[in-house]
Amino acid sequence: MFSAYEDLLRPLLFLVDPEKIHEYTLHALSVGSSLPLFGRKAQDLQLRREVFGLSFPNPVGLAAGFDKNGIAIPALAALGFGSVEIGTVTASAQPGNPKPRMFRVPEAEAIINRLGFNNRGAAAMAERLQTLRQSPRWPAIPVGINIGKSRVVPLENAVEDYRKSLRSLREHGDYFVLNVSSPNTPGLRSLQDPAALGPLCATLRLELAQKPLLLKIAPDLTWKEVDDILRIAEPSGISGIIATNTTIDHSNIPTSRRTEGGLSGTPLRDRSYEILKYIKTRSRLPVISVGGIMNVTDALARFDAGADLIQLYTGFIYRGPGIIGQICRALRESGEHFS
Ligand SMILES: Cc1cc2nc3c(=O)[nH]c(=O)nc-3n(C[C@H](O)[C@H](O)[C@H](O)COP(=O)(O)O)c2cc1C
Protein backbone atom coordinates (compact mmCIF):
# COMPACT_ATOMS: atom_id res chain seq x y z
CA MET A 1 0.00 0.00 0.00
CA PHE A 2 1.21 3.50 -0.85
CA SER A 3 2.61 5.50 2.07
CA ALA A 4 3.37 9.21 1.61
CA TYR A 5 6.10 8.95 4.25
CA GLU A 6 7.76 5.71 3.15
CA ASP A 7 7.42 6.25 -0.60
CA LEU A 8 7.95 10.00 -0.90
CA LEU A 9 9.35 11.67 2.19
CA ARG A 10 11.67 9.00 3.58
CA PRO A 11 13.73 8.60 0.39
CA LEU A 12 14.43 12.36 0.54
CA LEU A 13 15.20 12.37 4.26
CA PHE A 14 17.54 9.40 3.81
CA LEU A 15 19.60 11.36 1.24
CA VAL A 16 20.87 13.50 4.11
CA ASP A 17 23.40 12.47 6.78
CA PRO A 18 21.42 10.75 9.60
CA GLU A 19 22.49 13.06 12.41
CA LYS A 20 22.01 16.20 10.28
CA ILE A 21 18.46 15.25 9.24
CA HIS A 22 17.70 14.36 12.84
CA GLU A 23 18.81 17.85 13.90
CA TYR A 24 16.73 19.53 11.17
CA THR A 25 13.64 17.49 12.02
CA LEU A 26 13.98 18.15 15.73
CA HIS A 27 14.51 21.82 15.06
CA ALA A 28 11.31 21.92 12.98
CA LEU A 29 9.44 20.09 15.76
CA SER A 30 10.88 22.47 18.32
CA VAL A 31 9.74 25.52 16.32
CA GLY A 32 6.33 23.86 15.99
CA SER A 33 6.33 23.29 19.74
CA SER A 34 6.72 27.00 20.44
CA LEU A 35 3.63 27.89 18.40
CA PRO A 36 0.20 27.86 20.00
CA LEU A 37 -0.88 25.25 17.43
CA PHE A 38 -0.88 22.26 19.68
CA GLY A 39 -3.74 22.28 22.12
CA ARG A 40 -4.66 19.32 24.28
CA LYS A 41 -5.93 16.46 22.14
CA ALA A 42 -9.24 14.73 22.52
CA GLN A 43 -8.60 11.46 24.31
CA ASP A 44 -9.77 7.98 23.46
CA LEU A 45 -10.67 6.33 26.76
CA GLN A 46 -10.46 2.88 25.19
CA LEU A 47 -6.68 3.18 24.82
CA ARG A 48 -6.02 4.68 28.24
CA ARG A 49 -3.66 2.80 30.55
CA GLU A 50 -2.80 3.30 34.19
CA VAL A 51 0.78 2.17 34.78
CA PHE A 52 2.99 2.81 37.82
CA GLY A 53 0.46 5.34 39.06
CA LEU A 54 0.41 7.45 35.87
CA SER A 55 -2.33 7.74 33.30
CA PHE A 56 -1.26 7.21 29.67
CA PRO A 57 -3.79 8.29 26.98
CA ASN A 58 -2.42 5.50 24.78
CA PRO A 59 0.35 2.94 25.33
CA VAL A 60 2.62 3.98 22.42
CA GLY A 61 5.48 6.18 23.62
CA LEU A 62 8.53 7.78 22.08
CA ALA A 63 11.75 6.16 23.32
CA ALA A 64 14.68 8.07 24.82
CA GLY A 65 17.34 9.56 22.58
CA PHE A 66 15.13 11.22 19.98
CA ASP A 67 14.61 14.44 21.95
CA LYS A 68 17.66 14.41 24.21
CA ASN A 69 17.17 17.97 25.45
CA GLY A 70 13.39 18.08 25.71
CA ILE A 71 12.93 20.81 23.11
CA ALA A 72 10.03 19.39 21.08
CA ILE A 73 7.65 17.82 23.61
CA PRO A 74 4.38 19.57 22.52
CA ALA A 75 4.91 18.70 18.84
CA LEU A 76 5.80 15.09 19.64
CA ALA A 77 2.64 14.80 21.74
CA ALA A 78 0.66 16.28 18.85
CA LEU A 79 1.95 13.49 16.58
CA GLY A 80 -0.05 11.12 18.79
CA PHE A 81 2.47 9.61 21.20
CA GLY A 82 0.92 8.59 24.52
CA SER A 83 4.13 9.50 26.36
CA VAL A 84 7.48 11.02 25.52
CA GLU A 85 10.73 10.08 27.21
CA ILE A 86 13.33 12.82 26.91
CA GLY A 87 17.10 12.50 27.49
CA THR A 88 19.41 10.84 28.07
CA VAL A 89 20.47 13.88 30.04
CA THR A 90 23.61 14.04 32.17
CA ALA A 91 24.50 16.29 35.13
CA SER A 92 26.96 18.28 33.00
CA ALA A 93 26.52 19.29 29.37
CA GLN A 94 28.70 17.14 27.10
CA PRO A 95 29.47 16.96 23.37
CA GLY A 96 29.27 13.18 22.91
CA ASN A 97 31.59 11.14 20.69
CA PRO A 98 33.31 12.41 17.54
CA LYS A 99 31.20 12.45 14.35
CA PRO A 100 30.15 10.53 12.33
CA ARG A 101 28.37 8.60 15.07
CA MET A 102 24.97 7.66 13.66
CA PHE A 103 24.49 5.26 10.73
CA ARG A 104 21.50 3.83 8.89
CA VAL A 105 21.42 0.22 7.78
CA PRO A 106 18.38 0.42 5.46
CA GLU A 107 18.55 -3.16 4.15
CA ALA A 108 18.07 -4.35 7.74
CA GLU A 109 15.77 -1.48 8.78
CA ALA A 110 18.24 -0.62 11.48
CA ILE A 111 20.32 2.18 12.95
CA ILE A 112 23.71 2.05 14.64
CA ASN A 113 24.58 4.91 16.95
CA ARG A 114 27.50 5.80 19.17
CA LEU A 115 26.35 9.30 20.06
CA GLY A 116 27.59 9.03 23.65
CA PHE A 117 24.96 11.12 25.47
CA ASN A 118 25.46 14.41 23.64
CA ASN A 119 23.24 16.83 25.58
CA ARG A 120 23.03 20.30 27.12
CA GLY A 121 22.97 19.11 30.74
CA ALA A 122 20.39 18.74 33.48
CA ALA A 123 20.28 22.40 34.58
CA ALA A 124 19.47 23.64 31.06
CA MET A 125 16.77 20.99 30.71
CA ALA A 126 15.25 21.92 34.07
CA GLU A 127 15.01 25.57 33.06
CA ARG A 128 13.31 24.70 29.78
CA LEU A 129 10.83 22.31 31.38
CA GLN A 130 9.93 24.75 34.11
CA THR A 131 8.91 27.35 31.52
CA LEU A 132 7.06 24.78 29.44
CA ARG A 133 5.16 23.34 32.41
CA GLN A 134 3.85 26.78 33.28
CA SER A 135 2.58 27.33 29.73
CA PRO A 136 -0.59 26.00 28.09
CA ARG A 137 1.68 24.04 25.71
CA TRP A 138 2.59 21.39 28.31
CA PRO A 139 0.97 18.25 26.87
CA ALA A 140 -1.58 16.01 28.58
CA ILE A 141 0.71 12.97 28.40
CA PRO A 142 3.33 11.68 30.83
CA VAL A 143 6.82 13.01 30.20
CA GLY A 144 9.64 10.76 31.35
CA ILE A 145 13.21 11.93 31.92
CA ASN A 146 16.00 9.49 31.18
CA ILE A 147 19.19 10.09 33.17
CA GLY A 148 22.71 8.87 32.45
CA LYS A 149 26.18 9.23 33.90
CA SER A 150 28.38 12.13 32.77
CA ARG A 151 31.32 10.78 30.83
CA VAL A 152 33.95 12.67 32.84
CA VAL A 153 32.70 11.27 36.15
CA PRO A 154 34.41 8.02 37.23
CA LEU A 155 32.16 5.02 37.84
CA GLU A 156 32.80 5.08 41.59
CA ASN A 157 31.14 8.54 41.72
CA ALA A 158 28.19 7.54 39.54
CA VAL A 159 25.60 7.63 42.33
CA GLU A 160 26.45 11.25 43.14
CA ASP A 161 26.32 12.19 39.46
CA TYR A 162 22.87 10.62 38.89
CA ARG A 163 21.69 12.22 42.12
CA LYS A 164 22.76 15.67 40.91
CA SER A 165 20.71 15.31 37.71
CA LEU A 166 17.72 13.97 39.59
CA ARG A 167 17.77 16.87 42.06
CA SER A 168 17.69 19.43 39.23
CA LEU A 169 14.95 17.63 37.38
CA ARG A 170 12.71 15.88 39.90
CA GLU A 171 10.02 18.60 39.86
CA HIS A 172 9.78 18.53 36.09
CA GLY A 173 9.29 14.92 34.99
CA ASP A 174 6.36 12.57 35.52
CA TYR A 175 8.62 9.52 35.67
CA PHE A 176 12.39 9.00 35.70
CA VAL A 177 14.60 6.40 34.11
CA LEU A 178 18.03 5.26 35.23
CA ASN A 179 19.89 4.51 32.05
CA VAL A 180 22.50 1.91 32.96
CA SER A 181 22.43 0.26 29.56
CA SER A 182 23.84 2.51 26.86
CA PRO A 183 26.80 0.85 25.14
CA ASN A 184 28.34 4.23 24.27
CA THR A 185 29.58 5.45 27.67
CA PRO A 186 32.57 3.38 28.82
CA GLY A 187 31.77 1.19 31.83
CA LEU A 188 28.16 2.36 32.13
CA ARG A 189 26.67 -1.09 31.69
CA SER A 190 28.65 -2.41 34.67
CA LEU A 191 26.20 -0.39 36.80
CA GLN A 192 23.77 -3.24 36.05
CA ASP A 193 25.89 -5.47 38.33
CA PRO A 194 24.11 -6.18 41.63
CA ALA A 195 26.85 -4.63 43.79
CA ALA A 196 26.54 -1.31 41.97
CA LEU A 197 22.85 -1.38 41.13
CA GLY A 198 21.52 -1.88 44.67
CA PRO A 199 23.03 1.30 46.18
CA LEU A 200 22.29 3.30 43.00
CA CYS A 201 18.58 2.42 43.03
CA ALA A 202 18.19 2.78 46.79
CA THR A 203 19.85 6.22 46.91
CA LEU A 204 18.00 7.63 43.94
CA ARG A 205 14.68 6.24 45.12
CA LEU A 206 15.01 8.45 48.22
CA GLU A 207 15.45 11.56 46.06
CA LEU A 208 12.17 11.17 44.25
CA ALA A 209 9.48 10.91 46.92
CA GLN A 210 6.54 9.20 45.20
CA LYS A 211 7.48 9.66 41.55
CA PRO A 212 8.10 6.50 39.53
CA LEU A 213 11.71 5.47 38.96
CA LEU A 214 12.37 2.95 36.18
CA LEU A 215 15.43 1.02 35.07
CA LYS A 216 16.40 0.73 31.41
CA ILE A 217 18.30 -2.45 30.72
CA ALA A 218 20.48 -3.79 27.91
CA PRO A 219 19.44 -6.62 25.58
CA ASP A 220 22.85 -8.27 25.92
CA LEU A 221 22.40 -9.48 29.49
CA THR A 222 22.40 -13.18 30.35
CA TRP A 223 19.26 -14.61 32.00
CA LYS A 224 21.19 -14.79 35.27
CA GLU A 225 21.98 -11.08 34.97
CA VAL A 226 18.33 -10.28 34.27
CA ASP A 227 17.37 -12.33 37.36
CA ASP A 228 19.88 -10.40 39.48
CA ILE A 229 18.45 -7.09 38.30
CA LEU A 230 14.88 -8.16 39.02
CA ARG A 231 15.90 -9.40 42.46
CA ILE A 232 17.32 -5.98 43.31
CA ALA A 233 14.83 -3.78 41.49
CA GLU A 234 11.63 -4.60 43.35
CA PRO A 235 12.90 -4.20 46.93
CA SER A 236 14.77 -1.03 45.89
CA GLY A 237 11.49 0.63 44.96
CA ILE A 238 11.95 0.50 41.20
CA SER A 239 8.54 1.01 39.57
CA GLY A 240 9.17 -0.67 36.24
CA ILE A 241 11.68 -1.95 33.69
CA ILE A 242 12.32 -0.55 30.22
CA ALA A 243 13.53 -3.39 28.04
CA THR A 244 15.61 -2.79 26.04
CA ASN A 245 18.31 -0.39 24.96
CA THR A 246 20.35 -0.95 21.77
CA THR A 247 22.47 -4.08 21.32
CA ILE A 248 26.20 -4.55 20.82
CA ASP A 249 25.45 -7.83 19.00
CA HIS A 250 25.79 -7.02 15.29
CA SER A 251 25.58 -10.60 14.04
CA ASN A 252 22.18 -9.91 12.42
CA ILE A 253 23.54 -7.36 9.93
CA PRO A 254 26.01 -7.71 7.06
CA THR A 255 29.68 -7.62 8.14
CA SER A 256 30.34 -4.66 5.87
CA ARG A 257 27.81 -2.59 7.84
CA ARG A 258 29.16 -3.33 11.29
CA THR A 259 30.69 -0.43 13.14
CA GLU A 260 31.09 0.42 16.80
CA GLY A 261 27.86 1.41 18.51
CA GLY A 262 24.42 0.25 19.60
CA LEU A 263 22.21 -1.43 17.01
CA SER A 264 18.45 -0.80 16.95
CA GLY A 265 15.49 -1.67 14.75
CA THR A 266 14.56 -4.99 13.15
CA PRO A 267 17.75 -6.90 14.13
CA LEU A 268 16.91 -6.22 17.79
CA ARG A 269 13.28 -7.34 17.54
CA ASP A 270 13.56 -10.98 18.61
CA ARG A 271 15.92 -10.38 21.52
CA SER A 272 13.85 -7.53 22.91
CA TYR A 273 10.70 -9.67 22.64
CA GLU A 274 12.41 -12.61 24.39
CA ILE A 275 13.53 -10.39 27.27
CA LEU A 276 10.01 -8.99 27.70
CA LYS A 277 8.59 -12.52 27.89
CA TYR A 278 11.30 -13.60 30.34
CA ILE A 279 10.72 -10.65 32.69
CA LYS A 280 6.96 -11.21 32.59
CA THR A 281 7.38 -14.79 33.79
CA ARG A 282 9.67 -13.70 36.64
CA SER A 283 8.34 -10.43 37.98
CA ARG A 284 5.21 -8.41 38.55
CA LEU A 285 6.97 -5.16 37.68
CA PRO A 286 5.43 -3.25 34.77
CA VAL A 287 7.51 -3.45 31.58
CA ILE A 288 7.85 -0.87 28.83
CA SER A 289 8.86 -2.93 25.83
CA VAL A 290 11.13 -1.24 23.27
CA GLY A 291 13.40 -2.57 20.57
CA GLY A 292 12.58 -3.49 16.99
CA ILE A 293 8.88 -2.61 17.05
CA MET A 294 8.59 -1.78 13.37
CA ASN A 295 4.90 -2.36 12.60
CA VAL A 296 1.47 -3.18 14.00
CA THR A 297 2.18 -6.92 14.20
CA ASP A 298 5.31 -6.34 16.29
CA ALA A 299 3.38 -4.01 18.59
CA LEU A 300 0.47 -6.40 19.14
CA ALA A 301 2.90 -9.23 19.86
CA ARG A 302 4.43 -7.16 22.68
CA PHE A 303 1.03 -6.53 24.27
CA ASP A 304 0.17 -10.21 23.91
CA ALA A 305 3.41 -11.01 25.75
CA GLY A 306 2.37 -8.74 28.62
CA ALA A 307 3.95 -5.37 27.81
CA ASP A 308 2.29 -2.64 29.83
CA LEU A 309 3.45 0.04 27.41
CA ILE A 310 5.64 0.13 24.30
CA GLN A 311 8.09 2.66 22.92
CA LEU A 312 9.35 3.34 19.42
CA TYR A 313 12.48 4.89 18.03
CA THR A 314 13.78 3.18 14.88
CA GLY A 315 10.25 2.18 13.78
CA PHE A 316 9.31 5.85 13.96
CA ILE A 317 12.27 6.74 11.70
CA TYR A 318 11.51 4.00 9.12
CA ARG A 319 7.69 4.19 9.12
CA GLY A 320 7.07 7.81 10.06
CA PRO A 321 4.53 9.21 12.51
CA GLY A 322 1.72 7.22 10.87
CA ILE A 323 2.86 4.13 12.77
CA ILE A 324 1.51 5.58 16.03
CA GLY A 325 -2.06 5.86 14.70
CA GLN A 326 -1.83 2.45 13.00
CA ILE A 327 -0.92 0.76 16.27
CA CYS A 328 -3.62 2.65 18.19
CA ARG A 329 -6.25 1.72 15.59
CA ALA A 330 -5.25 -1.93 15.71
CA LEU A 331 -5.47 -1.90 19.49
CA ARG A 332 -8.90 -0.34 19.38
CA GLU A 333 -10.07 -3.03 16.96
CA SER A 334 -8.70 -5.85 19.09
CA GLY A 335 -10.12 -4.78 22.43
CA GLU A 336 -8.66 -7.88 24.11
CA HIS A 337 -5.33 -6.11 24.67
CA PHE A 338 -7.09 -3.71 27.00
CA SER A 339 -9.15 -5.94 29.19
C1 LIG B 1 20.05 7.44 17.46
C2 LIG B 1 19.64 6.81 18.75
C3 LIG B 1 19.91 7.46 19.96
C4 LIG B 1 19.52 6.87 21.16
N5 LIG B 1 19.78 7.53 22.33
C6 LIG B 1 19.36 6.98 23.50
C7 LIG B 1 19.55 7.67 24.72
O8 LIG B 1 20.08 8.79 24.76
N9 LIG B 1 19.13 7.06 25.86
C10 LIG B 1 18.51 5.84 25.87
O11 LIG B 1 18.14 5.34 26.92
N12 LIG B 1 18.30 5.17 24.72
C13 LIG B 1 18.70 5.73 23.55
N14 LIG B 1 18.48 5.06 22.38
C15 LIG B 1 17.85 3.72 22.44
C16 LIG B 1 16.35 3.78 22.19
O17 LIG B 1 15.68 4.52 23.18
C18 LIG B 1 15.77 2.35 22.16
O19 LIG B 1 15.91 1.77 23.44
C20 LIG B 1 16.48 1.45 21.15
O21 LIG B 1 16.79 2.17 19.98
C22 LIG B 1 15.61 0.24 20.76
O23 LIG B 1 14.39 0.63 20.19
P24 LIG B 1 14.14 0.71 18.60
O25 LIG B 1 14.60 -0.58 18.01
O26 LIG B 1 12.69 1.01 18.46
O27 LIG B 1 14.98 1.86 18.12
C28 LIG B 1 18.85 5.62 21.17
C29 LIG B 1 18.58 5.00 19.94
C30 LIG B 1 18.95 5.57 18.75
C31 LIG B 1 18.65 4.86 17.46
Tens of pLDDT, residue by residue over 138-189, are 999 999 999 999 999 999 999 999 999 999 999 999 999 999 999 999 999 9
- Would you state the pLDDT for residue 252? 95
Number of structural domains the chain divides into: 1
268 lines ligand 1 (CB under 6 A): yes
Q: How would residue 54 be classed by pLDDT, with cut points 50, 70 and 90?
A: very high
* 0.85 exceeded by pTM: yes
Tens of pLDDT, residue by residue over 261-304, are 999 999 999 999 999 999 999 999 999 999 999 999 999 999 99
Mean pLDDT, residues 94-103: 98
Query: Does the structure show a pLDDT above 50 at 339?
Result: no
- How many Cβ atoms are within 10 Å of 332's Cβ, its own excluded? 14
- Would you state the pLDDT for residue 209? 85
Q: Is residue 120 part of a domain?
A: yes
Report yes or no: 61 and 82 within 8 Å, Cβ to Cβ: yes
> H or E stretch including 292?
none
Q: Is residue 94 part of a domain?
A: yes
288 lines ligand 1 (CB under 6 A): no
> What separation in Å is there between the alpha carbon of 302 and the centre of ligand 1?
18
Of ligand 1's listed atoms, the one at least distance from the Cα of 292 is 25
Q: Is residue 301 part of a domain?
A: yes
Of ligand 1's listed atoms, the one at least distance from the Cα of 269 is 25
Closest Cα to atom 4 of ligand 1: 65
Query: Does the structure show a pLDDT above 50 at 122?
Result: yes
Kindly list the catalytic residues: 182
Q: Is residue 81 part of a domain?
A: yes
> What separation in Å is there between the alpha carbon of 263 and the centre of ligand 1?
9
> What separation in Å is there between the alpha carbon of 271 and the centre of ligand 1?
15
Q: Which domain holds residue 131?
A: 4-334
Q: Is residue 339 part of a domain?
A: no
Q: Is residue 92 part of a domain?
A: yes
Question: Measured in whole angstroms, how far is the alpha carbon of residue 11 from the centre of its chain?
Answer: 25
Tens of pLDDT, residue by residue over 194-220, are 999 999 999 999 999 899 999 999 999
Query: Does the structure show a pLDDT above 90 at 44?
Result: no
Query: Does the structure show a pLDDT above 70 at 336?
Result: no
β-pair partners for 89:
147
310 lines ligand 1 (CB under 6 A): no
Q: How would residue 35 be classed by pLDDT, with cut points 50, 70 and 90?
A: confident
> H or E stretch including 43?
none
Q: Is residue 104 part of a domain?
A: yes
245 lines ligand 1 (CB under 6 A): yes
- CATH code of the domain in which 328 resides: 3.20.20.70
18 lines ligand 1 (CB under 6 A): no
